[in-house]
Structure 1
């Protein structure tokens, strides 16, 4: 079982509070340790370093400021920005209508 900031493929049964938005784009399941409200992205320790290089003026909150994370990006799709309004029973996740059409059809 993976622990800490390690990445495992998305097919894992491991459930995390917040997944790194950037790692998810590469089908990795990495726990987020940081949140950027300007980008509305959750970031792991690795990705927050890259983010800091490109977005120096963004304020990033760590786990100690997790109360600042709430209310952001919880009801919007990270990929499409649409509202999460469909639950996929097969993948056990909330999806936007675009994700359903592209990734959750038989």
Structure 2
């Protein structure tokens, strides 16, 4: 029987980094990983990061249109429950909070 682990992230970058760690270093299939807004609105997290930050290029204007409407939730479906701690560790490495198993 499988299990699902979930965590919430404040930035899109942290969510993406946790996902890449799981896929590239631990062999978890992308089709077993799901990303959603933790609330009812579309969101890029609660804080600016990555491409949501002001541009470093002197000829570009700063951005102020990031959808900062709440946290991002990442869930991972596991058939091998032996990977559960690996997933929790990856979530924690990138500041995933409220990690839970369902």
TM-score band w.r.t. shorter chain: under 0.3
Higher relative CO (Cα under 8 Å, sequence separation at least 6) belongs to 2
Relative to the length of structure 2, the TM-score reads 0.24
Whichever of the two has the greater Rg, that structure is 2
In terms of fraction of residues, the more helix-rich structure is 2
In terms of fraction of residues, the more strand-rich structure is 2
Relative to the length of structure 1, the TM-score reads 0.24
